[in-house]
Amino acid sequence: MAEIGQSLLSGFASALKPIYLYYALLGTILGTITGVLPGLGPLGAMAILLSFTLTMDATGAMILFAGIYYGAMYGGSTTSILLNIPGEAASVVTCIDGYKMAQKGRAGAALTVSAVGSFIAGTISILGLTVVALFLADIALRFGPPEFLAIGVCGLILLVRLTGGSILQAFIMIFLGMALATVGVDFLTGIERFTYGVRELGQGIDFLPVAMGIFGIAEVLTTVEQKEFLQRVQKVKLSELLPTRREWKRSFPPMFRGSFLGFLIGLVPGPSPVIATFASYISEKRLSKNPEEFGQGAIEGVAGPEAANNAAVGGAYVPLFALGIPFTPAMAVVLGALMLHGLTPGPNLIKMKPDLFWAVIASMYIGNFMLVILNLPLVNVFVSILKVPKNILLPVIVLICLIGVYSVNASLLDLLVLAVFGFIGYALRGVGFHPAPLILAMVIGPMLETSLRQSLNIAGGNLGGVIFRPICLTLYIIASLTFVIPTVLKFIRKSHHSKHPKLNERTTDV
Amino acid sequence: MEGKSQQKEKITAIVLCGFSLFYFFSCWHLKLGTIKYPGPGFIPVVIGSLLLLCTTFYLMRVFGTKFSGRKTGDIAAEEGKNYQGIYGILACTTAYPFILEMLKFLLSTLMVAFFMLVLLKPQRPVFSFFLALGMAVASFLIFSRLLGVALPSGFLEELLFRIGR
């Protein structure tokens, strides 16, 4: 424990350097702006800024991205409360009670509770990240290729279950992503695969133009769909920001519950901040003495979910730092940034680059503090960003995507890939496909292939030797159960309803 | 009558199935290896088979669904969409790599920005032109001067680079 404290102190010494403070500030401001703007989420912003990080060192890039991720969670809640517009998916739940509070003249209180809740959650989740990542990384050092294969497979299967929407569609996206990852020279034999004589494809399809196309360009196209452009903005006075004593008293327990719940959900693959907010809202409603207030402006409905989505961010960093496996698309972009700097995340990263790990952790604390200091007094400034007409904002985003992609490899093929995947992303979204599994599979794909081929080699071609290892088997069982349990429950519910149709009618009425 | 969303879903299913067929058959040109020493084609064959299986199921599901006719909400949503803007932005993004080498950075960026601005707000072409010019110059200065990115440069870029120095 003393060692952790000492490492954290050295992390602070590094993160408090002016340049890193600048990156943290820049990240939090950019993150808040992207959170405020509907359509452009943290993932899009991180993908767009990926090329910018080339001019920074790896620590700077990580600090910038952490700031963006946390900032987006803060910013998203501002528009949810003031305008009933969720800046990003994780703020949808905040609209329910946050906007009702704003209508009752308690917008300032809702914003403060949301900011303080986010700060508490951020701090708890960073503590959790520190302890769990170190513990997991220590264990992961003993993992071989079969274990990494099992973690990857289990992660993707859980992602399919938790992404929402059609399971079949999620599987299609995963296999598409993995298929894209096989393009290029085979790392073991040096044989070209699916390059069709295009020399540039030998290095494979770069992750950056695909991510920027699917999340950046596709997002722009989806936003262009709607014709109305200007937004009416509501003002909040500084004097209205302070909640009453009763409101504070009602907010603190949900904040802490949301923080723990959010962190735990953040460890699981999938859109964890979104799931965390819904889970927190439902649990707060169940625990509340006045559940009828939910939906009418209950402060617990703001405090819990806002804490949960921020805590999930810290949780999402655990598998990336400890195992080198991103469980959310945003973490895939962070992984991409690390790889651009020649670093391979995983258990060895914490051991080999402790300065980077601890500086990032320390910068998260600093970033969270900056967000509280910045966001409350500047809430009107951030909300007025919505006044920038979309017909100016969207071309700017497209240009940043185009030049950003070109600046990484100076490759015209990358620009074409960006355009193609912008269209693919837009088209697939239109028919209900979630793009996240494709991106994650594309990033995890090469690791899965390496692990599987190495595992088979080690086990002498015996598939049982790859699967029937204690950790692997446990993970495969967990993955299978996530499919079996919901199906069994569905079957039980169906048969129960068919046996008791009257009871069914009554429950529907309730 | 079939809704536009159902049509889109059918086209997507066909394209996905077509891609998986293409990928699946392309895999067989690669060496499979053995189960002990998997070759470069081993994983692609596994992925290709699973992808083909999933897309076939999806195709069957999409074509097997009965259509309940076009709802008024569906029609209104389709009519409200700014297709001109969507196709225009797509065209600009696709054209950019082709004109970038030819016209160099400033002109190509100016053209693309101008087209996008006009597409999204056709009423003010002169304002859009100057805004696009501002965007092109600002992005050149940020990326080239500030971030040191090597952008395709010609006479104009050299001139701007010297002025900005």
What is the arithmetic mean of pLDDT over A178-184? 92
Res A506: pLDDT: 47
What is the arithmetic mean of pLDDT over A222-233? 65
Q: Are A407 and B12 a contacting pair at CB < 8 A?
A: no
What is the arithmetic mean of pLDDT over A199-228? 81
pLDDT band at B76 (very low <50, low <70, confident <90, very high): low
What is the arithmetic mean of pLDDT over A24-38? 83
How near does any CA of chain A get to the CA of B3, in Å?
12
Residue A129, pLDDT > 70, answer: yes
Going from the C-alpha of B122 to that of each of A12, A225, B125, the distances in angstroms are: 52, 16, 6
Res A508: pLDDT: 42
Tell me which chain B residues have a C-beta less than 8 angstroms from the C-beta of A413. 97
What is the arithmetic mean of pLDDT over B150-156? 83
Q: Does B64 touch chain A (CB under 8 A)?
A: no
**Range of weakest confidence among A228-232, A316-320, A490-494, B42-46:** A228-232
Q: Does B120 touch chain A (CB under 8 A)?
A: yes
What is the arithmetic mean of pLDDT over B36-59? 92
Cα–Cα nearest to A17, from A66, A67, A59:
A59
Q: Does A412 touch chain B (CB under 8 A)?
A: yes
pLDDT band at A507 (very low <50, low <70, confident <90, very high): very low
- Condensed to tens digits (0 to 9), the pLDDT of residues A303-317 reads 898 888 888 888 888
- Condensed to tens digits (0 to 9), the pLDDT of residues A433-455 reads 888 788 878 888 888 888 888 88
User: Over chain A, what is the mean pLDDT?
Assistant: 81
Would you say A335 and A443 are in contact if contact means Cβ atoms under 8 Å apart? yes
What is the arithmetic mean of pLDDT over B71-78? 56
Q: Does A197 touch chain B (CB under 8 A)?
A: no
B positions 137-156 inside 8 Å of A (CB): 139, 143, 147-151
- Condensed to tens digits (0 to 9), the pLDDT of residues A407-432 reads 777 888 989 999 999 999 999 888 88
**HEC readout, chain B:** CCCHHHHHHHHHHHHHHHHHHHHHHHHCCCCCECCCCECCCHHHHHHHHHHHHHHHHHHHHHHHCCCCCCCHHHHHHHHHCCHHHHHHHHHHHHHHHHHHHHHHHHHHHHHHHHHHHHHHCCCCHHHHHHHHHHHHHHHHHHHHHHCCCCCCCCHHHHHHHHHHC
Residue B159, pLDDT > 50, answer: yes
Q: Does B76 touch chain A (CB under 8 A)?
A: no
Residue B109, pLDDT > 90, answer: yes
- Condensed to tens digits (0 to 9), the pLDDT of residues A296-350 reads 888 888 889 888 888 888 888 888 888 888 877 788 888 888 887 888 777 778 7
Q: Does B37 touch chain A (CB under 8 A)?
A: yes
pLDDT band at A227 (very low <50, low <70, confident <90, very high): low
CB nearest to A402's CB, from B47, B48, B93: B93
Res B25: pLDDT: 92
Residue B114, pLDDT > 90, answer: yes
**Percent of chain B surpassing pLDDT 90:** 40
Res A502: pLDDT: 55
Would you say A430 and A218 are in contact if contact means Cβ atoms under 8 Å apart? no
How near does any CA of chain B get to the CA of A473, in Å?
20
- pTM assigned to the model: 0.79
**Percent of chain B surpassing pLDDT 70:** 88
Both tokens of A9, joined, read 């102190």
Would you say B137 and B106 are in contact if contact means Cβ atoms under 8 Å apart? yes
Residue A510, pLDDT > 50, answer: no
Q: Does B121 touch chain A (CB under 8 A)?
A: yes
Q: Which is more confident, A235 or B92?
A: B92
Residue A400, pLDDT > 90, answer: no
pLDDT band at A164 (very low <50, low <70, confident <90, very high): low
Q: Which is more confident, A13 or B22?
A: B22
**Range of weakest confidence among A227-231, A388-392, A416-420:** A227-231
Q: Does A399 touch chain B (CB under 8 A)?
A: yes
Would you say A409 and A206 are in contact if contact means Cβ atoms under 8 Å apart? yes
Res B108: pLDDT: 93
Domain boundaries, chain B: 4-78, 82-164
Res B132: pLDDT: 92
Cα–Cα nearest to B97, from A402, A419, A412, A200:
A412
ipTM of model: 0.90
Res B164: pLDDT: 58
Res B91: pLDDT: 93
Would you say A209 and A425 are in contact if contact means Cβ atoms under 8 Å apart? no
CB nearest to B37's CB, from A175, A402, A457: A457
Both tokens of A418, joined, read 């960006």
Q: Are A225 and B81 a contacting pair at CB < 8 A?
A: yes
What is the arithmetic mean of pLDDT over B128-134? 92
Q: Does B60 touch chain A (CB under 8 A)?
A: no
In terms of Cβ atoms closer than 10 Å to its own Cβ (0-12, 13-18, 19+), residue A505 is exposed
CB nearest to B89's CB, from A224, A403, A456: A224
Res A423: pLDDT: 92
pLDDT band at A238 (very low <50, low <70, confident <90, very high): low
